[in-house]
Amino acid sequence: MASIEGRATAEASPNIAFIKYWGKRDEKLILPQNSSLSMTLSSTTLKTTTSVVASNKINEDTFYINGKKLEMSDPEVRERLKAIGIMRELSGTTARVLAVSSNNFPSSSGLASSASGTAALVYALNAAFGLDLKPKELSMIARQGSGSACRSMMGGIVSWRKGSRNDGSDSYAVQEFSEKYWGEVIDLIAITSHEKKKIPSRAGMKQTVETNPFFTQRKTSAEKRLREVREAYRQKDLDALASLIMADSNEMHALMLSTVPSIRYLDSSSLKIMDAIEELNASEGGNIAGYTFDAGPNAHIITLKKYERKISSMLADIKGLEALEFKSSAQGSGPKLLTGVSLINEERLAPA
Ligand code: PMV
C-alpha cells in the first residue's frame, strides 16, 4: 500500500435544525427515520478548528480536543471518529492520523460541538489524504460519525435527505438555499445552562424509536413540514417559517416526553423563553421570531437581524433567568481549509 504524508487544517460550524432529526432507521450507518433541515451557523460566532496529519510515521490514531487526549478504546469515541477509518480506506493507505481540535465555544454548552467537530475533521482529512471528495460525498462520511454533522458540510440552509436504500448511498446533505438568499435570518442563542446533556442523543433516539407510541406519525409529519419550511423560506415568509420551526421543536420535545422512560431536555428557563416569544409574536400581530431547542435547554431564536435588540432586551427582562447569555449567529458558508495555520507542533507532532 502507498505511504502518505499529508497535512491540513479546516474549520466548520454547528447547525441548528428547523426540522429535527430524532430517530434512526440504521444505528450503524446512521440513517434517519425522517429527513431534516437546518441552518449552518457562522464561524465568526461558533466554530471548530481541526488540524490533521496523516502519515505512515504515526503509530496510532490520536485525537486531542481542547487540549484533552481522547480515549480511543472508548466505544463512543470510536463511533464518533469513524471518519478516520473510512477515509484511510478510501485513500488506499495505512497512514495513521494525529488530529488536534479546538472550539471557540465551550463544548459543555450544548451547542452541537459534535456536528462542527465531525465536519471539520472530515473536511481536513479529505485534504490530508488527498481524496478530493465533493461536499455530498463528505456529508455521507460525516453522517456516520454524528448524523447532524452531515448538514454542517454545506453553508446556508441545508437538508439531509433521509434516503431509502439500506446501504445509505441516498442519505446525504443538499444545500437548499445559499447563505446569501435570505441573509437577514439569524439564530439568537439564549444560553441559560452549561450543564452536560442528561441523556446522550444516541441513547435518547433509540429509546424513542423503540418505545414511543406516536413515532409512526412523526415520520410523515416531519416530511410534510419540511416541504412547508422550504416553501416559507423560498417566499421569505417569516411568520410562516417561525410558526413551522416552533411546531417542529415542540413535536420533537413532545415525542421525547412521551417516550418510556420519559426524556426531558427542556427546563423551566426554556418554558419561560417559549412563553415570552409567543407573547411577543402575539403583540406584534404576527410571528417575528420562532424558538427551537435541540437536546438541551438552551433556546435558539430564529429571527431577522433587525429584531435582535428588541428580543434580547425583552428576554433580559424575564424574571428568574439570571444566567442568561446571548450568542448571535448569522448564517455560515460551510467548512473551509485554512492555509498557513496549524494547531499541531510539527516537530513534536503533538498539540502546539
Ligand atoms: O447528530 P446527533 O447525534 O448530535 O443528534 C442531533 C439531534 C438534534 O440536535 C436534537 C436534532 C437535529 O436534527 O439536529
Domain ranges of the chain: 5-179+339-349, 185-329
Write out residues with Cβ below 6 Å of ligand 1.
17, 20-22, 36, 114, 146-148, 201-202, 294-295
Other Cβ atoms less than 10 A from the Cβ of 313: the count is 9
Whole-number Å distance between alpha carbons of 82 and 86? 6
Whole-number Å distance between alpha carbons of 344 and 58? 14
pLDDT tens string 291-319: 999 999 999 999 999 999 999 999 999 98
Distance between Cα 161 and ligand 1 center (Å) = 14
Q: Is 149 helix (H, G, I), strand (E, B) or coil?
A: helix
Whose alpha carbon is nearest atom 6 of ligand 1? Answer: 148
Q: What's the pTM value of the predicted model, to 2 decimals?
A: 0.96
Report pLDDT for 66: 87
Report pLDDT for 292: 98
Mean pLDDT in residue range 38-61: 95
What CATH topology corresponds to 185-329?
A: Alpha-Beta Plaits (3.30.70)
Whose alpha carbon is nearest atom 8 of ligand 1? Answer: 294
Mutate to test the pocket of ligand 1, among 201, 208, 209 (most ligand atoms within 8 A of CB): 201
Atom of ligand 1 nearest to the CA of 295: 10
- The three three-digit cell numbers of residue 311, written as one number: 428580543
Q: Residue 351: is the preceding peptide bond cis (ω within 30°)?
A: no
Distance between Cα 107 and ligand 1 center (Å) = 15
Atom of ligand 1 nearest to the CA of 112: 4
pLDDT tens string 272-287: 999 999 999 999 999 9
Q: Which CATH number fits domain 5-179+339-349: 3.30.420.40, 3.30.230.10, 3.40.50.150, 3.40.50.720?
A: 3.30.230.10
Atom of ligand 1 nearest to the CA of 147: 1
Across 277-351, the runs of DSSP E, i.e. the strands, are 289-292, 299-304, 325-329, 336-337, 344-345, 350-351
